[in-house]
Structure formats: C-alpha cells, structure tokens
C-alpha cells in the first residue's frame, strides 16, 4: 500500500516537473524559433506597395547589434532615411560609424526593392563627417531616395533579402571557396567607388587578421563601459524579444539548437559572462572555422557617405553570398577598438595593426568579417514593424 502511494507520489512529482519544464520552455520560446510578431516583417515584407515596399525591404538589412537605427520619412516618389541616433551603441560605436554602415545596408535593400517594383532609385547621400554621439540624440537625415518609373528588374539579390541572415555558427573550414566567387565579391563591392575589399584566404594573412579579431575582443571585454553598452541591447528572455523586437538573441548566437534551447531556459548570464562566451566563440569557433576573412576599407574612416557606401557593399556581398549557399558574419571588433582608442585619445594601437595588414596607408578598414560554407542554417533576428519606423 505504502509502496504504491510512494510510486504514485513520485509519478505526480515527475509529471509536474515535466509539465513545469514544458511550460517554462514554451514561455521562453524554445519551441517557437522565428515565430511571433517580432519575426513577422520577414514573412510579410513583400506584401507592401509603393514607398512602404522599399521600407519593408530596408528594415530586413544587416545593422550593428540589431539596433535598427533607422527612421523613414515618406512622400510621393521620395524617401528620406534618417539615423535614429538614440538607438546607438555608446562606447561600442562612439562616432556612429557602424550605425551609418547599417543605414547603408538598408539603403541597398531599398534600391534593390525599387528595381524589383519597376522604379528607378536615385540615391543622394548627405555629406559630412561622423561626429561623437550627440548629447540629445534625435533623427538626422543621411540619405534621400528619389523614385522614377523604370524597368521592372528580376534580381537574385532582391530575392535573397528574406534568406540573408548573419551566421555565427561554425563554418566548414575544409571547403574552399572557388576563386570566381571571390572575384564576384570584388566586383559587387563596387571598388571603383572609393572602396576596397580585401579577402584573406592564405594561411599567414588569415591568421594575422584572425589574431587581431581575437585580441580586439579580449580588449573589449576588459572594458566595462563597452561590455555594458553592448549588453543593453541583448535580449535574453523571449518576452523581451517579442516586446522590443531588436538586439542580438540566443537564437542568433550561432549555438546548436540544443544548446540554444538550454540557454533559453537557464537564468540569463551576467554581462561579463555573456561577453566571455562571445570571446570564446570568436576565438574557438568563428575565426578558426572560417576559410576566408576579409576587410572593407575606405579612404576616410569618419566620412558619413563612405560609411554608407561600405554598408551598401556589405549588404550586396552578403546577399550574393546567400544566393551561392555561403555564410557570412561581421567580426568588427578590430575597428570598434580603433574608434574606442580614438574616443579615449589612446595610442592608436588597433589602427596601426590594421594598417600593417592592409599595407597601404590610403585605405582604412571600416568593416571586418568572415566567409565560408555554413555547417547549419540560422534563424532570422527580430525586427520592429514598418509602422514603428516610419515618421
């Protein structure tokens, strides 16, 4: 009798634990990767008409820390793209250089969307220098797109917009990338327009840039201000993912599905631990598994228009890579450190190290990344709704 009661009791406890585990897993989105309102913009992006069709493509672009630092002002046949400078990364991006690269990524998607809808897009960039983050941040105009009737163009880059995702998982190091694909990336980068793409696949060069990426990450995680400014954007809890619809998430961290699921139900790590994981992933997975590392360089690192052009180039390259089954991920810590050293008026150690890699002082790296064949697909990152970003 007693034994039966005991077994019954144990059964009830076990069932309750399973039930509680299932409830918690459900609450933390373990079974809902890529679902919910935060991911709707990836599904309904091509349903919009007129200028909104361009905006719905623009917001799917790459952007730093998924801050989505954009606002769009619409008129007939004209869209203004504004930097939403309040959505900044603080000491991670003290001159809003990365923010402008992200805006360039959005512009590129919008130009592709215009062509696909039978509109000719004329892009005018606002000139000027990148400045420290304003004390009272407010939207500032960075680009204007004017539309006119044009031929409707089929374009594989446009079709790839909803499939392009930053892939932080391991790449297949043993699978080389054909030279013609690397040549296509060079021509897509638009190097005639004051931009230079450097791709490193030879072991010695690859190692030099990889070492810089790891060393920069180590320096950054030892800088408490940078850790805190980065952490502000992390969305560890599923409710926050769906509420804020921005920031890096556990689903996009490059973890295996099982580890991501466990991380979702575990207590959120401290900012320091979270950034130590980031260093571990950079050093042990992301850099060593990539057959190609690369840099996009510009002539003037703090020129607004050049930052936007670099972003346009990155977005095009990443879309092209997507069409060819390749994965890409920015690993921009070396250049983030260049900005931070400038902000603190420190010796430009990071800038010198990058310059020695480029070997030509007229080119300043503004964006560092890796490229390779993926070992697994990755889900999309959240996006705010079009209605939230239109002025």
Binding site for ligand FMN (CB under 6 A): 62-66, 98, 101-102, 105, 165-166, 168, 248, 329-333, 381
Nearer to ligand FMN by Cβ, of 101 and 212: the residue is: 101
Q: Across the beta sheet with 78-83, what order do the strands follow?
A: 70-75, 78-83, 140-149, 119-125
Nearer to ligand FMN by Cβ, of 27 and 379: the residue is: 379
231-237 long-range contacts (CB < 8 A, ≥24 apart) are 231/271, 231/274, 231/275, 232/90, 233/65, 233/66, 233/67, 233/89, 234/274, 235/382, 236/268, 236/269, 237/28, 237/268
d(CA 148, CA 322) in angstroms, rounded, equals 29
Nearest to 81 by CA among 148, 146, 147, 141: 141
Nearer to ligand FMN by Cβ, of 160 and 176: the residue is: 160
Least distance in angstroms from the C-beta of 248 to ligand FMN: 6
**Would you state the structure tokens that stand for residue 156, as one six-digit string?**
């594989």
Dihedral in degrees, nearest 10, Cα atoms 281, 229, 210, 173: 40
Least distance in angstroms from the C-beta of 77 to ligand FMN: 28
Least distance in angstroms from the C-beta of 43 to ligand FMN: 14
Least distance in angstroms from the C-beta of 136 to ligand FMN: 24
Least distance in angstroms from the C-beta of 62 to ligand FMN: 3
* Extended beta strands in 162-221, E state: 195-200
Quote the crossing angle between the two packed helices 333-343 and 349-358, to the nearest 10°: 140
**Would you state the structure tokens that stand for residue 179, as one six-digit string?**
């030279």
Least distance in angstroms from the C-beta of 210 to ligand FMN: 14
Nearer to ligand FMN by Cβ, of 79 and 252: the residue is: 252
Nearer to ligand FMN by Cβ, of 105 and 147: the residue is: 105
3-state secondary structure of 319: helix
Nearer to ligand FMN by Cβ, of 119 and 245: the residue is: 245
């Amino acid at each position: 009798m007693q034994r039966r009661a005991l077994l019954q009791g144990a059964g009830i406890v076990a069932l309750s634990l399973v039930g509680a585990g299932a409830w918690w897993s459900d609450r933390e989105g373990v079974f809902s990767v890529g679902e919910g309102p935060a991911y709707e913009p990836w599904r309904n992006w091509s349903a919009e008409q007129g200028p909104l069709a361009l905006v719905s493509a623009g917001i799917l672009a790459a952007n730093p820390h998924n801050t989505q630092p954009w606002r769009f002002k619409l008129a007939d046949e004209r869209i203004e793209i504004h930097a939403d400078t309040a959505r900044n990364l603080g000491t991670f991006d003290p001159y809003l250089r990365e923010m402008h690269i992200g805006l360039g990524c959005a512009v590129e998607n919008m130009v592709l969307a215009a062509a696909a809808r039978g509109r000719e897009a004329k892009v005018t960039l606002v000139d000027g220098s990148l400045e420290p983050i304003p004390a009272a941040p407010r939207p500032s105009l960075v680009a204007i797109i004017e539309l006119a009737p044009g031929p409707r163009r089929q374009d594989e880059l446009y079709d790839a917009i909803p499939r392009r995702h930053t892939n932080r998982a391991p790449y297949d190091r043993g699978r080389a990338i054909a030279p013609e694909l690397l040549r296509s990336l060079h021509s897509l980068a638009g190097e005639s327009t004051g931009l230079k793409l450097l791709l490193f696949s030879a072991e010695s060069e690859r190692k030099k840039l990889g070492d810089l990426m790891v060393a920069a990450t180590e320096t950054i995680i030892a800088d408490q201000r940078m850790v805190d400014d980065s952490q502000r954007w992390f969305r560890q809890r599923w409710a926050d993912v769906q509420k804020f619809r921005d920031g890096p998430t556990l689903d996009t961290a490059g973890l295996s599905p099982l580890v991501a699921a466990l991380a979702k139900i575990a207590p959120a790590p401290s900012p320091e631990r979270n950034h130590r994981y980031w260093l571990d992933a950079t050093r042990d997975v992301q850099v060593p598994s990539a057959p190609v590392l690369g840099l996009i360089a510009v002539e003037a690192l703090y020129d607004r228009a050049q930052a936007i052009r670099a972003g346009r180039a990155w977005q095009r390259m990443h879309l092209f890579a997507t069409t060819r089954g390749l994965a890409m991920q920015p690993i921009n810590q070396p250049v983030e450190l260049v900005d931070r050293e400038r902000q603190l008026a420190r010796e430009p150690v990071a800038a010198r190290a990058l310059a020695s890699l480029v070997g030509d002082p007229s080119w300043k790296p503004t964006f560092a990344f890796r490229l390779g064949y993926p070992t697994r697909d990755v889900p999309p990152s959240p996006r705010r709704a079009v209605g939230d970003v239109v002025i």
